Chain A
Amino acid sequence: GDSVTQMEGPVTLSEEAFLTINCTYTATGYPSLFWYVQYPGEGLQLLLKATKADDKGSNKGFEATYRKETTSFHLEKGSVQVSDSAVYFCALVRIGGSNYKLTFGKGTLLTVNP
């Protein structure tokens, strides 16, 4: 079945540091890939997405590129802020599936210190 593996946290960085959160996936066909963010006490929000190979999703300074050859969708940000502290989830949905089920990774907790 489909699966998503993302780097385990927690990740602790200082403000303005570079961030990478690794994500790899296993799926048949050509899934769409997503990064969701969950701020403390809140639900999940879509951060960015990519729908085909070599697509780059970007939002709020975060970027991720859909790499079919390495089945990866790593999240990066050049300079993190304290307000980026949250849990980040990598997810996929297989186009053509009947239930639009999002398959999630386990989540990575990011803490950014001033």
Chain B
Amino acid sequence: NAGVTQTPKFQVLKTGQSMTLQCAQDMNHEYMSWYRQDPGMGLRLIHYSVGAGITDQGEVPNGYNVSRSTTEDFPLRLLSAAPSQTSVYFCASRPLRGAYNEQFFGPGTRLTVL
């Protein structure tokens, strides 16, 4: 199993550009989520999904869109990038059953918005 994969690893955007961060998992996990990591702030939840066709907002959703058309993929879209979105983005997944199951994290995408 590849686990949770993310592409690209690094990206530089100009203010106002759009892009999609890709996330895929091959563990058949129902639950997938996106976090952003900023210095001194830990990780904060952006959006999450409990299955194909179902998404919901986390604590910092503004400026981001998500969709979940398959169990495997959960892309994160920035429609108009802003410097405040410079961060490291992590995708994570876990099975829904089993309340104590760990979340598995991808390697991250480091995004810089100029």
**Which residues of A approach B to under 8 Å, CB–CB?**
4, 32, 34, 36, 42-46, 49, 51, 89, 95-96, 99-102, 104-107
Chain B residues near A42 (CB-CB < 8 A):
107-108
Closest to A46 in B: B102
Bound Cα distance A106, B96 (Å): 26
**Contact of A43 (CB < 8 Å), options: B31, B59, B99, B106:** B106
Report whether B105 and A99 are in contact in the complex, using a CB–CB cutoff of 8 Å: no
Q: Quote the shortest CB–CB distance from B93 to chain A (angstroms).
A: 10
Q: Say yes or no: A43 contacts B90, CB within 8 Å.
A: yes
Main secondary structure of the interface of A (DSSP, over half): loop
- Report whether A44 and B90 are in contact in the complex, using a CB–CB cutoff of 8 Å: yes
A84 CB, min distance to chain B CBs, angstroms: 19
* CB contacts between A and B, total, < 8 Å: 58
Chain B 44-57 per-residue mask, 1 if CB under 8 angstroms from chain A, else 0: 11001010000010
CB distance from A40 to the nearest CB of B (A): 12
**Which single member of B40, B58, B102, B108 contacts A101 (CB below 8 Å)?**
B58
Interface size of B by Cβ–Cβ distance < 8 Å?
27
Flag if A102 contacts B100 (CB, 8 Å).
Answer: no
Are B42 and A89 within 8 A (Cβ)? yes
Contacts A99-B48, A99-B58; A43 near B105 (Cβ below 8 A):
yes
Closest-by-CB residue of A relative to B100 is A51
The answer to whether the Cβ of B103 comes within 8 Å of any Cβ in the partner chain is yes
- Whole-angstrom distance from the CB of B19 to the nearest CB of chain A? 20
Chain B residue nearest to A89 (CB atoms) is B42
Query: What are 5 sample pairs from A and B whose C-beta atoms fall under 8 A apart?
Result: A43-B4, A89-B43, A99-B48, A101-B58, A102-B103
- Interface check B12, CB cutoff 8 A: no
Q: Hey, which chain A residues are within 8 Å of B94, CB to CB? A: 100
A22 to chain B, nearest CB (A): 15
Decide if B41 is an interface residue (CB 8 Å cutoff): yes
Set of chain A residues within 8 Å of B48, measured between Cβ atoms: 99-101
Cβ contact of A105, chosen from B31, B42, B56, B59, cutoff 8 A = B42
Query: What are the 5 tightest A-B residue pairs by CB atom distance, in nearest-first order?
Result: A104-B42, A43-B105, A44-B105, A46-B102, A43-B107
Closest B-chain residue to A34, C-beta based?
B102
